[in-house]
Structure 1
């Protein structure tokens, strides 16, 4: 542990942020590598005459921050950790960094299935870091979930995140493309959720370099119109959902109406477009018959 004065630390912090970057990324750096949370720092800042204890030297933290600024590499990949809802998740460039707006998927589920004692059988398609399915498994301890991903390395990360986040055993991971590993669960699911790749190819080419150069293409690119994977998920969903089973999808900001029509075509009802915190139609949900 490195012990320095709070005054010295705050001066150093101000200097780092003056180089560029944002407060949220810097907070991830301090928490994951420095070992000090934002709330701890806020408390200590009230009495700047005291001392602060860090896990790493300031020179090392500064080198990571400079790397982030110079290469535009997401701070989460450099730290190997991201925060999502109340989870602390391991991430590498094999998985997408889960976004704050995706947290709303879990809230949508809470609105549909209000009793945490419910015994649901749910699936997440394209789990990546495991964020959504882990959050659901923790929130509904009497339920059981299955999560799929096409990348075995991503599943290894998701499995580690589940083990680190929970002492439960109500979530299992399967390797394969979308529904393909779940053949034995046809007609048994109460709920399926997915944040699939939905970026159209033209949009993908214009993504910021911190996304395009570092995050996995397979987790972002949704074909020519962005709906390639969403179509496949919706078309096959009726085979796997129970009657009155729900499907919840995240989509691009301008895709909700098209996704809604796909759900109607596949005999879904109770279809709703749910807006994110920015007022964008980010999620499309429906119930099968």
Structure 2
């Protein structure tokens, strides 16, 4: 641990932020690589006297910050960590960095099923870092879950994140394309969730370079209209869901009505487009028959 005066640190911090970037990314950098929690960082501004201890020296932290600024490399990849709800997740360039807006999926589930639900079976298709399934397993320890992904390397990351989160064993991981790993669960699922690739081809080409150049294309691109994977998931969902089972999908900001029509066409009811905190129709949910 390196000891430096707090005033020197605060002067250095101000200098780094003047170069650009956002404060939340800088907080993550100091937390993950510097060993200075967000709470401790706030306290320093209130009481700038004395010394503090860092895991890495300022020159190293500055070099990482400049890598982030100059190359648009996501700070989560440089730190190897993303914070999501109450989880600290390992991330690499093989998995999509979990977005804050996706956290609302857990709130949607809580609204549908309540907080003290009976034992249920859920599946997440395309789990990536495992964020959604891990959060649900924590919220509902009586539930059983299966999280799928097409990439074995991604599933290893998700499994590691799950094992690091808590010691229960109510979540399993299975490799394969969307519903394929769930053949033995046909007609048994109470809930299926997916945040699939939904970016249309022309929109993908215009994505910010920190997304397009560093995050996996397979986790973003949803075909010409962005609905390629959503369409497949909805069409096959009736074979896997119980009657009255729920399907929750995240979609692009302008796809809600189209996803709603797909759900209606496949005999879903209780369909609702749910806005995110920015008022955008980010999620479309439905109940099978």
Query: Shorter-chain TM-score: which interval?
Result: over 0.9
TM-score (norm 1): 0.99
Q: What residue number does 1:70 align with? A: 70
Q: Summarize deviations over 1:52-101 as a string: whole Å, max 9, x none.
A: 11111111101100111111000000000000000000000000000000
Question: How many Å separate the matches in 2 of 1:34 and 1:91?
Answer: 18
1:179-190 correspondence to structure 2 within 5 Å? 179-190=179-190
Counterparts of 1:115-194 in structure 2, within 5 Å, are 115-194=115-194
**d(CA) in 1 for partners of 2:101 and 2:46?**
32
| Cα separation, 2, equivalents of 1:103 and 1:23 | 20
Alignment-derived partner of residue 202 in structure 1: 202
Q: Does 1:58 align with 2:58?
A: yes
Please report how far the alpha carbon of residue 163 of structure 1 lies from its aligned counterpart in structure 2 after TM superposition: 0.3
Q: CA-to-partner distance for each residue in 1:215-250, whole Å, 9 max, x for gaps?
A: 000000000000000000000000000110000000
Tell me if the contact between 1:44 and 1:50 (Cα under 8 Å) persists in the aligned partners: no
Who is 1:25 aligned against? 25
CA positional deviation for 1:39: 1.2
Partner SS, residue 285 of structure 1: strand
Q: What is the Cα deviation at residue 51 of structure 1?
A: 1.2
Q: Indicate whether 1:41 and 2:41 are aligned.
A: yes
Q: Figure out how many residues of one structure are paired with residues of the other and give that number.
A: 289
How big is the alpha-carbon RMSD for the aligned residues of Structure 1 and Structure 2?
0.7
| Structure 1 residue 44 displacement after superposition | 2.6
Provide the rounded CA distance (Å) in 2 between the counterparts of 1:134 and 1:125: 13
| Structure-2-length-normalised TM-score | 0.99
Give the whole-Å Cα distance in 2 for the aligned partners of 1:5 and 1:115: 46
Other structure's SS at 1:12 match:
helix
- Unpaired runs of 5+ residues, structure 2, are none
Residue range with higher mean Cα deviation, 42-51 or 258-267: 42-51
- Mapped to 1, the partners of 2:14 and 2:162 lie a distance apart of 36
Match of 1:228 in 2: 228
| Cα distance between partner residues in 2 of 1:2 and 1:260 | 55
Contact 1:67 1:73 in 2 (8 A): yes
Q: Which residue of 1 aligns with 2:259?
A: 259
Q: SS where residue 77 of structure 1 aligns?
A: helix
Aligned to 2:15: 15
> What do residues 133-167 of structure 1 show as CA deviations (whole Å, max 9, x unaligned)?
00000100011000000111100000000000011
Q: Secondary structure at the match of 1:118?
A: coil
- Where does residue 102 of structure 2 map in the other structure? 102
Q: 1: CA distance between counterparts of 2:41 and 2:20?
A: 20
Helix, strand or coil at the partner of 1:122: strand
CA distance in 2, matches of 1:125, 1:24: 29
Deviation for aligned residue 1:117: 4.2
Q: Which residue of 1 aligns with 2:273?
A: 273
Shift of 1:115: 3.1
Partner of 1:215, secondary structure, is coil
